[in-house]
């Protein structure tokens, strides 16, 4: 819409080639970071995550603005769709954060429970039997 046929044809082709190239880069980052390409080479997880999330959002923007023609729509309309979408992407990322916090809290509680167990074993000096039951429980 709004663009002349040959020009929009060119934009579509360059967009798809860009998307394909970004996808290849993402996969290379994933394999490189996990040591598949260079033996023994690893990337820190946060760097990989940041790069791949950034590149994926870039792909999403290209698809929305070029393939779905959002950049040729009325600005108010674009905002009414993009604002909620942006909030959704933020929510997905925020809940990954939230999940990792659940994990660290669970670990914290487990560590504290271990300390409690040790204290109990010191206090009750009845010996072997209790200690065995408790250590079996822990598997």
Partner 1 sequence: MASEIVTHDTDHDVDHHHDDHHHEEMTPQWEGGKPLFRASYGKLMMWYFLLSDAFTFAGFLIAYGALRFSMPSWPVPDFVFRLFPFAGDTVLPLIFVTFMTFVLLFSSYTMVRAVQEGHRENKNGVAVWMFLTIIGGAAFLGCQAWEWATLIGKEHMSVTKNPFGTHTESGAYLDANGNPSDDVFEPGASYLMHHLDHHAHAAEHGDDHGDDHHGAGHTDYEIGKDYKDATIDERGLIHRKYIVTSGEDEGMIKTEMYGPKAFGALFFFITGFHGFHVLSGVVFLIIIFVNVLSGLYVERKNGYEMVEKIGLYWHFVDLVWVFVFLVFYLL
Instruction: Provide the binding-site residues for partner 1, judged by CB under 8 A.
Output: 1, 5, 8-9, 12-13, 15-16, 19-20, 23-24, 26-27, 29-31, 34, 36, 48-49, 52-53, 56, 59-60, 63-64, 67-68, 73-74, 76-77, 81, 84-85, 88-89, 91-93, 95-100, 102-103, 106-107, 139
4 close to 13: Cβ distance less than 8 angstroms: no
- Smallest gap from Cβ 136 to partner 1, in A, equals 11
For partner 1, which is the closer residue by CB, 53 or 121? 53
- Smallest gap from Cβ 41 to partner 1, in A, equals 14
Please name the residue that has the structure tokens 């940041």. Answer: 50
- Smallest gap from Cβ 53 to partner 1, in A, equals 7
For partner 1, which is the closer residue by CB, 115 or 126? 115
For partner 1, which is the closer residue by CB, 105 or 120? 105
């Amino acid at each position: 819409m709004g663009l002349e046929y040959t020009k929009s044809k060119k934009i579509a082709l360059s967009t798809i080639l860009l998307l394909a190239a970004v996808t290849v880069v993402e996969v290379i980052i994933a394999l490189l970071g996990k040591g598949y390409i260079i033996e023994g080479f690893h990337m820190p997880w946060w760097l990989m995550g940041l790069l791949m999330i950034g590149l994926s959002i870039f792909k999403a923007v290209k698809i929305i603005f070029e393939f779905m023609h959002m950049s040729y729509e009325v600005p108010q309309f674009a905002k009414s769709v993009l604002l909620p979408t942006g909030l959704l992407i933020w929510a997905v990322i925020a809940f990954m954060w939230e999940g990792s916090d659940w994990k660290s809290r669970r670990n914290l509680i487990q560590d504290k429970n271990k300390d409690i167990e040790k204290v109990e074993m010191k206090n009750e000096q009845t010996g072997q039997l209790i200690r065995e039951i408790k250590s079996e429980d822990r598997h």
